[in-house]
Amino acid sequence: MEISGLYIYIDGSDLEGVSEPVESAIRDWLKSKDVPAKIVNVLHERTPDLSSEDYAQWDLGLNLEMGQIGCLSELLVYIHKLAVKHERDFVIGYYSEATGISEDISFFGAESGEPKTQEIAEFIGIENC
């Protein structure tokens, strides 16, 4: 499997009250650590299959290319603290530009607990620091 990078997004689409503070916190942390990750904050249009109670899909988090990862555990500790603060869970997964495949690896946060950093690092084939 050729992994191009990782994504770390909030799990869920009911993000109206947290999108701005979460995006800002992630942006500030990335800037302070000089990590050139791509911030993602996209509220998709509603699709016909959604009921009136359903939220439109909302992607909020970051994308990192493999060369941008650096210290994965430091990033995941920070994102976990952010998740607990905002009572949310995050999902981390990988994507492959060569195959067009993306797949979730693990959930962590307010309900799912701490990230399994060592297992994630081993899965994607990087050294955890």
DSSP secondary structure code for residue 66 in this structure: G
pLDDT at 50: 63
pLDDT on residue 96:
92
> What is the predicted pLDDT for the residue at 124?
86
pLDDT at position 102 is 94
Alpha-carbon distance of 84 to 105, in angstroms, equals 19
Q: Percent of the chain scored above 70 by pLDDT? A: 96
- Token pair in block for residue 10: 């909030």
Burial annotation 59-76 (CB, 10 A radius, 16+ → b, else e):
ebbbbbeeeebeebeebb
- Does the pTM of the predicted model rise above 0.85? yes
Residue type, 125: G
Spans of the chain below 70 pLDDT: 1, 50, 56, 128-129
> What pLDDT score was predicted for residue 56?
66
